[in-house]
Amino acid sequence: MLVRERCSTVHPDQITGYAVGLPGHTARGGGVVWYGGGKLAADLTLPKLRARWAGSAEHGPFAGADVPPAAVRGALRTTLTRAAEQAADEAGFFTALRAAGVLVRVRFSETAPGQVTGYSVTLPGHTGPDGTPLWYGGGRLAAGLTLPRLRERWNRPAGRPAERSGTPRFTAPERDEIYRHAARQARAATEHIRRCAMTDPRAAADAAWAAADTLHAAARALRNPHLRCAAGSYDRAARAAYGRIPARSHDGDQLRRTARMIALAGNLTGDNTLMAIALVAQLVALAAAVAELRQAQRHAAQAAAARATAAHLRTAITQARSRAPRFGHAQSQRTTRAANAAQDAHRDFPAGVRPTQQPVHQASSSRPPSPQQGRIPPRRTGRGP
């Protein structure tokens, strides 16, 4: 997209607005057709966007004790790798990390107190059971992120182009954990919205609005056209009336953090199809809960948009299941192996195991038992022969 910023006439360095356009969308004279944020939607003006982003910088995108450690490690590895590739020296590297909201702790030499020999990083709010921060050394995140390796990178000969570190951003288990966490947060938001729909609909406005971020991030990561259609349909269901900014809530903040995790983790591969299906299934329930919320508020158009979102999400699940034959194939192989094992056991023990007490439904004959069967013989006494 093309972006044009509008600066203040009194303070030229201050940005007061913006407009966007597409390269191929031009007027008759050949100029780009620009659209201000407020012309596209009431909540897309720059002041309202700034109100939406308020609090994200001071608390960090992954702040909170309920963020899985795998997501924190992946986020730190990604941030450190980007900073290392963009920085020219050690000072620039640490400055970039602090600007990104990462907490940095350097380690000094015992023999030379002024010499830095290593470092460790963490994110705000990422603490252990005792409440102390959990620190990660660069080498613990990736072999190429130790301080000696980074210094070798920054001290390369002049004129030699910088090489990419090749460090993976997120590992497959870390991506799996992020999508499990996203599914849990979507389920929690669904329960919150359904509770508020019957008692206080305004309390659910922020969670319903923040779900749009999660939908758009998932659509970009999963590269599914039906998810993109679902995110587009949900935009209308998510917005509050008259472009109002809902009061921030815990569930809304959790959904925004979830969207940042998905966006930072990047695109998924085919091995993560089951995790993607689990997340989209929770998003279906979330869209249905928002439809119930809008119906309770008598907002027919927004309720219809939420129902259309759920329909697109169900189509995305059907498509994803059709592209995941590995699970069904593995399941059939396990079933076949179990059947073969049962046949082998039957050949080894053709008579089977005789139970001590045979159930009624496993009787050998289908005929009803005679009156003589099943009777306990009378106990013989000492009287008579």
pLDDT (0 to 100) of residue 381: 54
| Interval 317-365: pLDDT, tens | 988 787 664 444 444 454 455 555 555 544 444 444 444 444 444 444 4
Amino acid at 66: D
- Lowest-confidence range among 17-21, 84-88, 104-108, 331-335? 331-335
Beta bridge partners of 147: none
**How does pLDDT run across 113-139, given as a tens digit for each residue?**
888 999 999 988 888 888 888 999 999
The pTM (predicted TM-score) of the whole model is 0.67
The H helix count followed by the E strand count for the chain is: 14, 6
Q: Which residue's entry shows tokens 């290593």?
A: 118
Above 80 in pLDDT, residue 165?
A: no
pLDDT surpassing 50 at residue 227: yes
Contact 231, 201 (CB under 8 A): no
Structure tokens at 77: 């590895």
Contact 291, 194 (CB under 8 A): no
Burial class (CB in 10 A: 0-12, 13-18, 19+), 163: exposed
Contacts of 45 (CB under 8 A, 6+ apart): 17, 36, 37, 38, 243
In tens, the pLDDT along 14-58 reads 999 999 999 989 998 889 999 999 898 877 899 888 877 765 544
